[in-house]
Structure 1
Amino acid sequence: MTEKIQILVVDDDAEIREVIQAFLRNEGYRVLQVENGLQALTILKQNPVDLIILDVMMPHLDGIQACLKIRQIMQIPIIMLSAKGEDMDKIMGLTSGADDYMIKPFNPLELVARVKAQLRRNKLLHHQTGENAIAIGDLLILPDRHVVKLREQEIALTPLEFKILLLMASHRGQVFSAKQIYESVWGEEALQSESTVMVHIRNIRDKIEVNPREPQYIKTVWGVGYKIV
């Protein structure tokens, strides 16, 4: 079945792209190549892609920004590549929406193994849910069924709580102000929305976070709003 799987390789280094392509094609995958994030966004609108291998340091639109934009339109596996091995760089990559992170130079065979693992995970996820599920860490959101699961356990959310969580999860990494959340979820003009939204965010955190005081999913961007990472 690998001949039907198409992988997009995004890297400004042509030699690295060719090496990755050679190893992936040896496994039977089809490969598309581009050299920056802007080209990646264009090709994603024109071609079906099952997985993206995305470099961080690129001209025009780097991997972090590209990943954030991709996550606004689709939820497919993204493996990020970077010459930076610091913990903070890795955290930034994963926070932007990447599913995996590898440090350059890397073993192409290990990259292929990680590609296979991500494809298996994504296939299993869709097989289990039968719908366009959203998976973030241990959190699983099933939009069609209005179901949220945390570590396989179903979480009881109110309809408004579910809408808020789905809004942010569908735009992973994007910061939403209380006004934006209110107008999107309640469908009316936000006059005194901040306290209302804050209460609902607190209730959601109480249900999905291990420690609501140090949330892992719904982050507060002080002075701006909230986002899911």
Structure 2
Amino acid sequence: MTKILLVDDDVELLHLLMEYLIEDGFEVSIANDGERGAAEALTGQYALVVLDVMMPFVNGIEALKRIRAHSRVPVLMLTAKGDDMDRIIGLELGADDYVPKPCTPRELSARIRAILRRTEVVAGADVPSALSVGALTLWPGQRRVAWDGKPVELTSSEFNLLEVLARNAGRPVDKNDLSEQALGRPLARFDRSIDVHMSSIRHKLGTLADGRSCIQTVHRLGYQYIRE
């Protein structure tokens, strides 16, 4: 079974979510504070971590920093409804996605499965096929990225978004399509997650010969990967 770590100081909610996820086929461990949660996430046992932002002492943002300093395990943040700042900070620090609280166990499970579907490694490929566009090379089977031959560390959501753009290089991709294909969910109104992820990807990749980013914003539509 796929092993999930739930980190939240709300014990009642934690056990409600745990019971549902177990019934839905997951193996679940729990932690009641950010310090223990971050340490547990770094053991390498988990396919995904669900991390609440609002916790005493070591909060979710600090716990995420500790996790991302050593691991690329997918992290789904639980954020207060309407708190855009926590969402943006979490995404900038490397969270893969977020779910606003209160959320239903069914919604959380669906979001977890959407992330996991996009992080599965293709097994059995001795020579994984590569996708190359100019200086960019992606190996979807291994979920590896290189720019000009040098490895680039991306979160799972960043990889998914970049892969969609690379496969459509030279053509603009609508934000709604990006969200559906890369994040596995419709783009909600006022949702800035795509923009935050794109900013991070641009920062991590190199530039074209003329100094421009390889990812261009298409006004009122979405983004486009430029063919060199």
Distance (Å, rounded) in 2 between the aligned partners of 1:24 and 1:86: 26
Name the CA shift for 1:84/1:65 in 2 (closer, same or farther; >3 Å): farther
CA drift at 1:12: 0.7
1:138 maps to 161
Deviations 1:88-147 (A, max 9, x none): 332222222111211111111111111111111111x6566332533416225xxxxxxx
Stretches of structure 1 lacking an aligned partner (at least 5 in a row) = 141-148, 155-171, 177-199, 217-229
Q: Secondary structure at the match of 1:151?
A: helix
One-letter code aligned to 1:96: L
Q: Is the 8 A contact 2:79 2:99 kept in 1?
A: yes
CA drift at 1:201: 5.8
Q: Greater helix share, 1 or 2?
A: 1
Q: Is the 8 A contact 2:42 2:67 kept in 1?
A: no
Stretches of structure 2 lacking an aligned partner (at least 5 in a row) = 124-138, 145-153, 170-199, 218-222, 224-228
1:32 maps to 29
1:180 maps to none
Q: How does 1:31-50 map to 2 (within 5 A)?
A: 31-50=28-47
CA RMSD in angstroms, aligned pairs only: 3.3
Q: How does 1:137-176 map to 2 (within 5 A)?
A: 138-139=161-162, 150-152=165-167
Runs of 4+ in 1 over 6 A off after TM superposition: none
Name the CA shift for 1:126/1:210 in 2 (closer, same or farther; >3 Å): farther
User: Number of aligned pairs?
Assistant: 162
1:210 maps to 216
One-letter code aligned to 1:152: R
Are 2:10 and 1:13 equivalent residues in the alignment?
yes
Q: Is the 8 A contact 2:38 2:64 kept in 1?
A: no
1:54 maps to 51
Q: Is the 8 A contact 1:23 1:108 kept in 2?
A: yes
TM-score by length of 1: 0.59
Q: Is the 8 A contact 1:150 1:208 kept in 2?
A: no
